[in-house]
Amino acid sequence: MNHYTGSVPTSRRAADWRTRAACLGRWDEMHPDNNEHEIENAKSICRQCPVQVPCVLDALRTGDIEHGIRGAMKPSERRNMARQVAARQRAEREARGEAEPTAKKPRPVRTFKSLYDERTQPLPDGHLGWTGATPVALKARYYTPTQIAFRVDRQRPPTGIVRRTCAVDGCVLPAHLTDQAERDAARAKAAADAARRKVPA
């Protein structure tokens, strides 16, 4: 049973640096527990990544400095870098005789839709991949990419675990996702259809 509504286009823009990230499809490895071996493994993935620098700059720009390994840096290392960048910018403003900004520009409000639009990229054969850190913090909770994609397409939170119906690891195409309610409905429909076929005419 396919519940895909088509409300989320699978190709919205030209591919960007995220499509070349070495961590595509390796979300668990990039979010290690506090284990030095796992952390070093994640950093080694970053070190061979052709977009290591754009990734860490994006993390600093978007404030994604609290979770996972990005640009071969742990969250604490990215926080330290963010402090150093802010200190350097203050020193440069003071050297030019400029006043300290009175207020920071408010960050754009993050929504499930904005996250989906920002972090998904088309994959070969019509699949859709997720780029960037996972899980994602939003509204004081953490969400997996499949939960976010499901919510955006179905306009409701999933019931139970969201599972893929395709074999592509990391795919978040809504057409390839189901929750427990949809799987239960599909099983019930299949059982009813089978029962009808057994009833003699």
DSSP conformation letters of 11-74: --S---GGGG-TTTT-TTTTS--S-HHHHHHHHHHHHT-TTHHHHHHHHHHHT--SSS-BTTB-
Q: What is the mean pLDDT of residues 22-36?
A: 84
Total number of domains constituting the chain: 1
Q: Are strands 141-143 and 136-138 parallel, antiparallel or unpaired?
A: antiparallel
- Judge whether 49 lies within some domain: yes
- Provide the whole-model pTM: 0.50
- Judge whether 175 lies within some domain: yes
- Judge whether 60 lies within some domain: yes
Of 178 and 196, the one with more pLDDT = 178
Tens of pLDDT, residue by residue over 94-123, are 888 877 666 666 777 889 999 899 888 888
Cα–Cα dist 132/138, whole Å? 14
Containing 164, the helix (H) or strand (E) segment is strand 163-164
What's the domain range around 74? 17-195
pLDDT at 4: 45
- Residue 1's pLDDT band (cuts 50, 70, 90): very low
- Judge whether 113 lies within some domain: yes
Q: What is the mean pLDDT of residues 36-41?
A: 90
Q: What is the mean pLDDT of residues 2-17?
A: 53
- Judge whether 57 lies within some domain: yes
Q: What is the mean pLDDT of residues 152-167?
A: 93
- Judge whether 10 lies within some domain: no
- Judge whether 106 lies within some domain: yes
Task: Using the CB atoms, write b or e for 117-135: b if 16+ within 10 Å.
Answer: eebbbbbeeebbbbbbbbb
Q: What is the DSSP letter of 157?
A: P
- Judge whether 105 lies within some domain: yes
DSSP string, 84-143: HHHHHHHHHHHHTTPPPPSSPPPPPPP-HHHHHHHHEEE-GGG-EEE-S-SSEEETTEEE
Q: Is the pLDDT of residue 189 over 90?
A: yes
